[in-house]
């Protein structure tokens, strides 16, 4: 489990999925893709965020095992999500 002391941010693939509605998707539709953990991890590595992948289920979609990526908190979460979405596009 991640705590605030770890200075990590959790990124779920659902944040970048073009098929999700806006409350779940955290990026504009023009930056959204059909993501997977490997793409998110690769984009985070290129930004120097030291990604760690874990097997987990997004709480809203508990029936899908998508996994998650933990990255260093070097800026605001919204900035990190947007930069990763731009790298994946």
> Domains (ranges, CATH) in the chain?
4-88 (3.30.56.30)
- pLDDT, tens only, 40-49: 999 999 999 9
Whether residue 41 contacts residue 51, with contact meaning beta carbons closer than 8 Å, is answered with yes
User: Does position 89 have pLDDT exceeding 90, yes or no?
Assistant: no
Strand 68-72 relative to strand 8-11: parallel, antiparallel, unpaired?
A: antiparallel
- 3 confidence band (pLDDT: 50, 70, 90): low
User: Does position 87 have pLDDT exceeding 70, yes or no?
Assistant: yes
Whether residue 25 contacts residue 17, with contact meaning beta carbons closer than 8 Å, is answered with yes
């Amino acid at each position: 489990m991640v705590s605030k002391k770890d200075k990590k941010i959790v990124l779920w693939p659902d944040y970048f999925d073009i098929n999700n509605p806006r409350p779940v998707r955290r990026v504009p539709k023009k930056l959204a893709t059909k993501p997977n953990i490997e793409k998110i991890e690769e984009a985070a590595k290129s930004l120097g965020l030291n990604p760690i992948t874990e097997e987990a289920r997004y709480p809203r979609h508990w029936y899908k095992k998508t996994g998650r990526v933990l990255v260093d908190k070097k800026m605001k979460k919204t900035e990190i999500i947007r930069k990763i979405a731009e790298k994946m596009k």
